[in-house]
Chains A and B, each alone.
Chain A
Amino acid sequence: MTTTLEHLTPVGADPAGGGLHRRLNFFTALIFGGLSAFIAWALSHHFLNSDGSGFSDQVTVLASIGWVLGFELGIGALTPIGRWIIGKDQVRDDELYLAGKNMGVRRHWKYCTDHKVVGVQYIVVTAILLGAGGILAMGIRTNLMTPGLHFVNQQVYNSFLSVHGMVMILALIVAVAGPWANFVVPIMVGARDMAFPRLNALSLWTLVAAIPLLLGSLAIGGLDMGWVTQAPISEQTGVGFDLFAMAIVTFTISTTVAGINTICTVMTMRTKGMNLERLPIFVWASVVAAALGLYAFPFFLVVMSLNLADRMVGTSFFVASQGGTGWLQENLFWLMGHPEVYVILIPAVGALMEITTVFARKPLFSYRTALGSMVSLAGLSALVWAHHMFTTGWAPSLGGPFMVTTEMISIPTGLMFLVILGTLWRGNIWMRLPMYWVFGFLFNFIIGGVTGIYLSDIPVDNQMHGTMFVVAHFHYVFVGSVLFGAIGALCFWYPKVTGRFLDERLGKLSFWLVFVGVQVTFLSMFVSGLRGMSRRYSSYEMIFEHTNLISTMGAYTIMAGMLVLLGAVITSWTGGEPSGPNPWKSKTLEWLVPTPVPLENFEVLPVITSDPYTYGEAQ
């Protein structure tokens, strides 16, 4: 498959610069990135006015830009752009090279356009982000095991919680969409690759470039603004914030490109007969989430840029004494922040719906309801943002309207439950590993969803906002629901990627550890919040010590479970029980191609005559 128009008579073509360019990989990217960062740092240090109050911020931001550009150059992600500009488009040989033909495992360390390789790379990136965020979570919970700052001091604790939040948010945005919208969706629609394979690789490596910035912010330290970077504290806080913000700016570029790619793939590359109502529900989930992300993430880009501008060049967007206002920051942030949690949730729900059909051996219950609930959830999510601001004192007269829109969101959410329960109804429930996570999700999401409705009620929010009740609520959704969906998706599609089953015993052990750990950690956390413990507290009063100790024990249980899962993923990759191409006897297209999946997916493109949910129906 080609994406160039000049395939018949390649004009000005010659093999892709041979030599140096074909040697580029992750390590050259690190070197180039580091070098550029250093050069940018040194130059800006030398030429910028060091008396200015924004000097260290300017230097840090410029060094970050140097890092990202150098990294992208060093991995070869900017080469296609350069080649377009000078009119040297890629030829078939380049295409195959970039797709990693005959390259073996090492293609995973390179800029590789094969969507399946990108999918595997996203699995690794997700694991790294979850691991880093998880370590920070253990730092937080260890400190909160007892009152009194016995583990770390306030500064370190505040930095831990700020970075933990952001790392985990990034991890969850990509946890399902990254690996599976890339690996699986093109095959599911009957395509040979994504719409824009080179952009696909670009979006992955851009995300990788963002990670050292985000984790580096912790090293430079001084972050005490939480992941929501509220102004004015985010303007006061240490230089680590500039790396934090640049990581986000870099991330928004990655996710915008990825979202456009997903939508174009599904809308324009479906094989013959794959009309919109025959698409697997996971494909729709990926499209809806991508579209919602396209709406939400520009706000993130803008708010971070304005915050950086205030720090670097003395603008006054969020500075009250000069005419600005922190409320602007909060509005812009939550205009992004609320749709974003549905960008996170919808792919996970889509994957779980897919799993349920296979393991109940039944069609998806009410396909249109499933689709409609996702679309209306996405649409409504753009109208609820100020429920995060009920107690800020901003626009009290808007409290009522936002309460209405927020409570209304519970209706499409409830319909998603109907779809999954209806799919389970009278099915032959096959309790293999992926199915465990579906039931865990159902149990947890009710709690997470209902407690969200509590918070949407202003009189309750007046009591609960800013307490551990909120933290427990969103952890039930993020960990208990989204993460369960992500792990379920991993267990489900693992045989397609590796040709082996994920070890069922270890997988079930990790499930029980994580599931029980979630209940212990976060139910106890609800109690902490109900009793009056504020959030983002590095220490607390004695009355909260028992519930905090229990939460910490639960957190360690979750950690144990996740480590068991990691062990299972690693050992089963090459040592697991062989599965064959379609161990779950699923009907979606990805299971009908061989494992490992051939480079261009299909020998001949299939012609589709029905949707993939024909269980129990005459073929």
Chain B
Amino acid sequence: MTNQNDNKKHHRDIFIVWALLTVIGVLVGLYATPWLMPKSASHTMSMGILTMVIFTVAAAPVAALVYAVCLYALTIWRHRGEGVPADGPAIRGNGPATVLWLVGSTVLTLFLLIWGLGLLGSDQSAGAKASIEAANGGSAEITVDVTAQQWLWSFSYPGTHVKSLDLYLPVNKDVEFNVTSKDVVHGFWIVQMGIKVNANPGVITTTSVTPDKIGTYTIRCTEICGLDHAFMMTKVHVVSEADFQKWLASQPTRI
């Protein structure tokens, strides 16, 4: 019966297209993703980029399967000619195919979940920790109080009397941010370090990160906060420990 051979032929041809598309997708995942993302300035960000790469690579075969079947349907199975096509085979379902799909998608989902949960649990700075009381440092080596307002960021360093519109951080030191807002909700995001937490009025939320590269990076607001939301950005300067102390000392004392 030609049906069996037809099916084998379909399977084989679709497999070839699928494999080709998967390779393309994997390459995109491996190379395009990191190339398009900002250069990492923290371990958190590096892990975030890696996660993006893994997810893209994992998604490639799924997308490839859908696209391969579509391409095949558009070419091989396409009805050519005038008028209504004849009926196709009365395939009401396929138990093995359904089970395979279900199991496959579950396994893939579990894999992504385990990776994500593992990353979430292991890296303290990946999660935003909220607390009602002002955080007093805990395990962090530096604490910075971040205050958001319409439409600027200001920073103060508890334990010193430094208040500044500039954010300076020493490299390779774990820093904890206590973030709050004076008015509406703002989003505190250090783009190259992969951390983000909202600034809410009346509460303090926290996030932490360890910057691992000296340089100047960007802070942008990520929650619409009114007129100048698009202009609410500033820079963070990651410097050596010595330069950081110098900078602190040079700041005027403000009460």
A interface with B by C-beta (< 8 Å): 154-155, 158, 224-226, 230-233, 236-237, 320-321, 325-327, 360-363, 365-369, 390-396, 399-400, 403-404, 407-408, 410-411, 414-415, 417-418, 421-422, 424-431, 439, 442-443, 446-447, 450, 453-454, 456-460, 462-463, 465-467, 527, 530-532, 534-540, 584-585, 613-617
Contact = CB atoms under 8 A, between A and B. Distances in A.
Contact of B191 (A465, A532, A585): A532
A430 B73 CA distance: 10
Contacts of A540: 230
A538 B59 contact: no
Interface stretch (B80-88, B155-163, B237-245, B247-255): B80-88
A425 B228 CA distance: 53
B105 to A, nearest CB: 4
Given A154-B228, A396-B127, A534-B189, A361 B62 contact: no
A585 B84 contact: yes
Contacts, number: 291
Given A224-B226, A232-B183, A390-B128, 5 more contacts: A362-B91, A391-B198, A429-B78, A429-B85, A536-B230
Contact of A431 (B55, B78, B191): B78
Given A403-B116, A428-B86, A465-B196, A415 B77 contact: no
Given A224-B227, A414-B105, A458-B126, A232 B201 contact: yes
A362 B90 contact: yes
Given A236-B226, A536-B229, A457 B51 contact: yes
Contacts of B170: none
Among A403, A425, A439, A454, residue most surrounded by chain B Cβ atoms (within 10 Å): A425
Contacts of A410: 105, 109
B148 interface: no
Contacts of A429: 73-74, 77-79, 85
Among A368, A411, A539, residue most surrounded by chain B Cβ atoms (within 10 Å): A411
Contacts of A362: 87-91
Contacts of B20: none
A427 B55 contact: no
Contact of A395 (B123, B130, B191): B130
Nearest to A153: B227
A411 B90 CA distance: 26
A381 B223 CA distance: 24
B19 interface: no
Contacts of A443: 66-67, 70
Contacts of B183: 232, 236
Interface in B6-59: 6-7, 10, 33, 36-38, 44-45, 47-48, 51-52, 55, 59
B183 to A, nearest CB: 7
B222 interface: yes
B179 to A, nearest CB: 7
B51 to A, nearest CB: 5
Among A158, A428, A532, residue most surrounded by chain B Cβ atoms (within 10 Å): A428
A82 B130 CA distance: 53
Contact of B230 (A392, A460, A538): A538
A537 B228 CA distance: 9
Contact of A442 (B70, B85, B89): B70
B112 A457 contact: yes
Contacts of A396: 127-130
Contacts of A584: 84
Contact of A617 (B90, B130, B196, B197): B90
A422 B117 contact: no
B127 A363 contact: no
Contacts of B230: 154, 534, 536-540
Contacts of B130: 393-396
Nearest to A467: B222
B185 interface: yes
Contacts of A538: 229-230
A393 B128 contact: yes
Interface of B: 6-7, 10, 33, 36-38, 44-45, 47-48, 51-52, 55, 59, 62-63, 66-67, 69-70, 73-74, 77-79, 84-94, 97-98, 101-102, 105-106, 109, 112-113, 115-117, 119-121, 123, 126-130, 179, 183-185, 187, 189, 191-192, 194-198, 200-203, 205-206, 218, 220-231
A367 B112 CA distance: 29
A495 to B, nearest CB: 13
Nearest to A450: B59
Given A454-B55, A459-B120, A466-B189, A421 B184 contact: no
B10 to A, nearest CB: 7
B55 A426 contact: no
A534 B101 CA distance: 36
B107 to A, nearest CB: 10
A557 to B, nearest CB: 22
B93 A460 contact: no
B127 A361 contact: no
B198 A421 contact: no
A393 B179 contact: yes
Nearest to A615: B87
B201 A426 contact: no
22 contacts: A236-B226, A361-B85, A363-B91, A367-B93, A393-B128, A394-B130, A396-B127, A400-B121, A404-B117, A407-B116, A425-B73, A426-B88, A427-B88, A429-B74, A429-B79, A430-B79, A450-B59, A458-B120, A463-B196, A539-B230, A540-B230, A616-B91
Contact of B94 (A366, A407, A442, A531): A366
Contact of B198 (A369, A392, A407, A614): A392
B127 to A, nearest CB: 5
A531 B10 contact: no
Contacts of B129: 393, 396
Contact of A233 (B55, B185, B228): B185
A426 B105 contact: no
A278 to B, nearest CB: 13
A609 to B, nearest CB: 16
B222 A535 contact: yes
A421 B74 contact: no
Given A414-B105, A457-B51, A363 B92 contact: yes
A615 B63 contact: no
Given A414-B105, A534-B221, A365 B63 contact: no
Contacts of B36: 527, 530-531
B194 A615 contact: no
A7 B59 CA distance: 61
A414 B61 CA distance: 13
A201 to B, nearest CB: 37
